[in-house]
Amino acid sequence: MTRASAMTIAGVLAATALAMPLHASHADDEGRRSATRVTREASPPLAASSGTESPFSDNLEILAEDLIRGQANVTIVGDSVNTFGNTNSMFKGYLLAWQPHRWRQIHTAVSTSSNATGAWLQISGSGNYMLLRPGEGVGDFEPFAGTHTWLMRVLWGDGWTGRALSAGFNELSWVFDSGMLRDADGNQRFLHTEDTYRHRAMIVAGTDPMFRSTWTVRSRNSSNGNSWHTYLPNTPFNPTPEPGLCWFDDMLEGSTAGEGHQGTALYSDNQGAFGPEERIGLCGTVITNQSLDQGLGLTYIGKGGWRAENHRYPFGHPDVPIINSATIYPGSYSNEALRRHFLAHETTHVMIWIGTNNSGIDANFPERTIEDMREILIRYREVHESARLENPALPPIKFLLIAPYASAINPFFQAYALGLRTLAGGDTAVVDLDGIVRDQIGEWDQWNTDLLLDSTHPNVEGAKFFASRIWRELINAAGPTADLNRDGVVDGADFG
């Protein structure tokens, strides 16, 4: 890299930091949390956007204000660039760089306990806790395959008893890089208020006796110590006959005290030891602030190594690509798994960022990946409509397509971005992240060693840089977002 190129990247990164709202120190937050409360007023009506057109996005006005104002539960559809489990994934960038009007919902990983991605995970006992990818089975025991949309842990073990899993938000994440989950005014209220929080403990199970579907549920808020604040023995999760995602909602008052782990645990206190054939899929906890009438939520679908076709075709389809990862498996999920995902997370918006893995096999035919994307949109619309029949409160779905930054000197990425932009319109918006990166810091060989770990996956600075660029496009499309209630005045009312 030339010295001029390095200076350009350094300047752009510095500008990124200056563009973000100023934060008080972590210590300053402590005094503010106890005094800060969120006003429970109805959301003001949305006014017409005064946003500006961008050469790198299309139709963004249909959803920009939803995300900026925090009126969206977003499901990210991706591969290893975005996945929860990678400590330097884009998901970390969203938690650090996205600053909506309010944060309201988070679903963290069961793959690892990481302050970087905010995940808290504890498992115990002598059982086996295999990480199961969507579309993957466990040996000769296949009922889990295709029933879920993201990584889960499958527990089994003859004679096992104890705590199956504790999952939620990691206390250490609060001090990571000056804090995560910041609101638009720089405050960090989510999970640190006395509001009512819904802890949605999720499992994959069916009515067959081979599935353990009754558990002791324990939950806790951020107060110091290891005590549980609720204890609910013999709690049924009420699965359907066909195995799939099911959940139990534990309502818990939050706290402004302490910075302990927050989440829910499943124990086998009163149900006895596991039998030799007994199984359970453990999917973690979705924590939602029920006291807010609006706020942004994030969750994820997908796994590392996936191509666009892994999301296009449902489980069992003959064209599902085989993923050669730690194991060889057909990465996919059923339409029913997708429907339950939408219901569990109350998904309103889907952000699709895939295609990097297609740049090898489809490098000379980016139109194939565009066709996959078109079919994914059709599939997701149909499944979301079926979820709305069960929960009419869900609004019609909206899509944000991201043209990925390059992971090599490869014409695929520019051609793919151009093709994606032809899909914009109606319920679909597009951000050309590849074009933004090329415009600001040049070709891949000019910046990859600064922003990427391995030529593909972002490091910390890369995650924040890419996330901030997407967020800036949304802000520009929504208009001057400091005036969040659109009354023409920037004051405390804009921040609740």
Please check the confidence at residue 404 and state whether its pLDDT lies above 80.
Answer: yes
- Residues 262-282 have a mean pLDDT of 93
Residue 138 binned pLDDT confidence (cut-offs 50, 70, 90): confident
Is pLDDT of 208 > 60? Answer: yes
What 3-state DSSP class applies to 390?
helix
Answer yes or no: is pLDDT of 186 > 90: no
Over residues 445-489, the pLDDT tens digits come to 999 999 999 999 999 999 999 999 999 999 889 876 556 655 656
**Chain-centroid distance, C-alpha 66:** 16
pLDDT of residue 6: 52
pLDDT tens digits along 149-181: 999 999 988 899 999 999 999 988 888 888 899
Tens digits of residue pLDDT in 23-72 = 333 333 333 322 222 333 333 333 334 456 799 999 999 999 999 988 99
d(CA 356, CA 337): 24
- Rounded Cα distance between 288 and 265, Å, is 16
Mean pLDDT confidence for 111-135: 90
User: DSSP secondary structure string, 80-143?
Assistant: TTT-TT-TTSHHHHHHHH---S-EEEEE--SS--BTTTTEEEE--SSSEEEEE-TT--BTTB-T
Element (H, E) at 77: strand 71-78
Residue 48: predicted pLDDT:
37
Is the confidence at residue 365, as pLDDT, over 50?
A: yes
Amino acid in position 61: E
Cβ atoms of residues 216 and 159 within 8 Å: no
Nearest to 152 by CA among 311, 328, 280: 280
Give the tens place of pLDDT for each residue, 302-337.
999 999 999 999 999 999 999 987 779 999 999 999
Report CA Rg, the chain.
22
Of all residues in the chain, what percent are helix, strand and coil, respectively (each to 5)? 30, 25, 45
pLDDT score of 199 more than 50: yes
> What is the pTM (predicted TM-score) of this model?
0.89
